[in-house]
Amino acid sequence: MLGSPSPSEGEEAVVSRLSREGGVNFLSFLVSKAVPILEEKEPKEWTYKDMIGLPAGQLEEWQAACQREIETLTKCHVFDTVVHLSGCRVIKNRWVFDVKPDGRKRACLVAKGFSQVEGKDFDQIFSPVVQFETVRLILALAALEGWYLSGLDVRNTYLYGELEEEIYMEQPEGFHARGKERHVLRLRRALYGLKQAGLAWWQALKKSMEELGFINLDSDAGLFKCFDEASQTFIIAVVYVDDAIFLGPSKATVKVMKKRFMERWELRDLGELKEFLHMCIGRAGQTIHIDQAQYTGGKGTWKQVGTCQEHCKDWNTLFDMFPAGTFCTHPECHAAMHLQYSQQEHLIYICNVISTCS
């Protein structure tokens, strides 16, 4: 073949000759020598195919995480495996992977809710959450009045919400039921990613709280109150999706009510409140100190947000450089925007400017 190297030719001679001749043979040689650039991906960026391409040791750990997720979904009766009837719409799903701060591998099956059709697959989707201003107000009252504060975290929150709509979903990648590979899943409970998942959980939570004797405020639906006849005192519950605070003047009464709540859901008891919505909460007597140093430090918010765009490097001119009506999708900007709602008011102006960087 014309241009093929002879066995006696050295590589330098081959490169020299092919570079002089050019053409298809030279391009083929370059392609054969190309070294693929393997980009390091965070687990959150993986697909299932990325995961199964991991070395054997890591693969086994992540497959075990996927299996735990399937077992959780089965235990909660999230779906039934049914025959795929012609004409029924079937939504897709994907695996989402993450590594928790304590090193635990987490795999979560998420529905691709963007393919749902309004009016067919869902109707109402709004689910209320407690306002950050309310959280700060309650913490201030707790400090002034010496109330006891205790936190908890509900596990697999959305799986408790029952679906009213008839929704079908593909079986998860890598976990098709043996002998039923062509079947689909009829969803009975909400799954992460569904448009109405948040609302379904909220409805289940509100019903449970009412059974415990709580009522929520009209002005802020995420704030619940209950009066205990036995102790002649009250309990307040602050709920933001899966994070909750139980507090009140009587430590014993708060613990009793919290225990009753814990009997209804699978959750983690966080004990005395130390953290809530990325706010570190410290207490000394009648003083409650709130900061987000760990959150901003971990995200690198203030270190990196200034470099999210080339012209964001100089904080001295930051406030004069960004045109209105534009929005930055850089993750550090999103982290900074979170601060304006959960921290001191003086951050509001800074974060609003950051959010409009182009």
Confirm whether 215 is domain-assigned.
Answer: yes
pLDDT number for residue 331: 52
Does the CA dihedral 188-190-193-199 come out positive or negative?
Answer: positive
166 exposure class (CB count in 10 Å sphere: 0-12, 13-18, 19+) = exposed
pLDDT number for residue 200: 92
Tell me: the pLDDT tens digits for 212-231? 999 999 899 999 999 998 88
The residues with which 225 forms a beta bridge, in sequence order, are 215, 236
Helix ranges (DSSP H) in the chain:
11-21, 23-33, 48-52, 56-75, 132-145, 197-211, 251-262, 293-299, 301-304, 331-342, 347-355
Residue located via tokens 């307040």 = 236
Q: Nearest 10 degrees: CA dihedral of 54, 56, 60, 66?
A: 20
pLDDT number for residue 339: 53
| Boundary of a domain, candidates 221, 245, 276 | 276
Residues 77 and 167 in one domain: yes
pLDDT number for residue 338: 53
Residues 150 and 175 in one domain: no
Domain that holds residue 58: 43-120+160-189
Can you read off the two tokens belonging to residue 274? 């130390």
Measured distance CA(71)–CA(107) in Å, rounded: 12
Residues 206 and 343 in one domain: no
Residues 265 and 140 in one domain: yes
Confirm whether 283 is domain-assigned.
Answer: no
pLDDT per 10-residue tile (average), the chain, 358 residues = 47 79 79 62 88 89 94 92 88 92 88 87 86 90 92 89 92 91 93 92 93 93 92 93 93 93 89 86 84 61 44 41 43 51 46 46
